[in-house]
Amino acid sequence: MHVVVYHNPKCSKSMQTLRLLESYGIAPEIIEYLHTPPSEDELGRILAALAMEPRDLMRRTEPEYQRLRLDDPDLLRAALIRALHMHPRLIGTTHCDRRHPGRHRPTTGKRTGNTGITR
Q: CATH no. for residue 67?
A: 3.40.30.10
The verdict on residue 117 lying in a domain is no
DSSP H or E run through 2: strand 2-7
Active site residues: 11
What are the tens digits of pLDDT across the range 51-87? 899 999 999 999 999 999 999 999 999 999 999 999 9
The verdict on residue 90 lying in a domain is yes
Among residues 77, 111, 89, 64, the alpha carbon closest in space to that of 6 is found at 89
Structurally, how many domains does the chain consist of? 1
Over residues 78-102, the mean pLDDT reads 78
The verdict on residue 34 lying in a domain is yes
Single pTM value for the model: 0.74
- Confidence band for 1, pLDDT divided at 50, 70 and 90: confident
The verdict on residue 73 lying in a domain is yes
The residue count of the chain comes to 119
Look at residue 113 and tell me whether its pLDDT is greater than 80.
no
- Confidence band for 95, pLDDT divided at 50, 70 and 90: low
The verdict on residue 44 lying in a domain is yes
Supply the pLDDT for residue 105.
32
- Confidence band for 114, pLDDT divided at 50, 70 and 90: very low
What are the tens digits of pLDDT across the range 2-58? 888 889 998 888 899 899 999 999 999 999 999 999 999 999 999 998 889 999 999
Strands 117-118 and 96-99: unpaired
Residues 17, 43: Cα–Cα separation, whole Å: 20
Say if CB 34 and CB 8 are below 8 A apart.
Answer: yes
The verdict on residue 116 lying in a domain is no
The range of the structural domain enclosing residue 74 comes to 2-106
The verdict on residue 113 lying in a domain is no
The verdict on residue 119 lying in a domain is no
